[in-house]
Amino acid sequence: MICLIRHGETDWNLQGRIQGGTDIELNENGVKQAEACKTYFEGADWDLIIASPMKRAKRTAEIINKALNVDLVEMSDFKERTFGEAEGLTLAERNKLFPDGNYPGQESKEDLESRVMAGIGLINKTFPNKKVLLVAHGAVIHAILSVTSGEEIDFTNTKLLNACLSNIEYTEDKWHVHNYNQIDHLTVDK
């Protein structure tokens, strides 16, 4: 079982700016969201936490781990997708500069899916039968959910909220999505 957790909010999330490979810290609300996740997982039985090494994901994982005190492993496979020249821009700015949605210098969807699913495979191989919390990013989690759901869940039909939870499990030789974009544990106001 892997519980995918999107990192808490950053100032760029709040401003609607695309972050990608830009390493942005959590803002005050993002810390509160991570604390709400920590509270949710208190007393739960998880074997380890894996996190993207990017500041916003790693800090979210560190806060959650205060409740679990398990090994925290950084895996670069789960760094956010890079969006090239679009990073730092709002949706309106991106639409004006790149109306076709193709951002110069961005990581392709295929490369992203290949990278993150290789990481998921490595988790499954290295930590078989373990319950893993994976703290990562919106595009990363979208890619995982899209592949594991046979493209039923993707960024065009689902906006993953900051600090949301999504659960996948490997059974009968394939991944299954149990639920996604769960936010009931968040009691913080935006």
Q: Where are the domains of the chain?
A: 2-159
Q: What is the mean pLDDT of the chain?
A: 93
DSSP H helix total and E strand total for the chain? 6, 6
Exposure string of 16-36, with b = 16+ CB inside 10 Å and e = fewer, is ebbbbebebebbebbbbbbbb
pLDDT at 155: 65
The yes-or-no answer on residue 137 being catalytic is: no
User: Residue 176 CB: number of other CB atoms within 10 A?
Assistant: 12
The CATH code for residues 2-159 is: 3.40.50.1240
Residue 50's identity, in one-letter code, is: I
Residue 54's identity, in one-letter code, is: M
Contact 1, 167 (CB under 8 A): yes
The yes-or-no answer on residue 80 being catalytic is: yes
Q: What would the two tokens of residue 31 be? A: 């810390």
Q: What is the pLDDT along the chain (190 residues), one digit of tens a residue?
A: 999 999 999 999 999 999 999 999 999 999 999 999 999 999 999 999 999 999 999 999 999 999 999 999 999 999 999 999 999 999 999 999 999 989 999 999 999 999 999 999 999 999 988 999 999 999 999 999 999 987 777 667 678 899 999 999 988 888 999 988 898 998 744 4
Which residue, chain included where needed, has tokens 């988790």? 123
Q: How far apart are CA 45 and CA 120, in angstroms?
A: 20
Catalytic pick among 9, 80, 87, 107: 80
pLDDT at 74: 97
Q: How far apart are CA 34 and CA 39, in angstroms?
A: 9
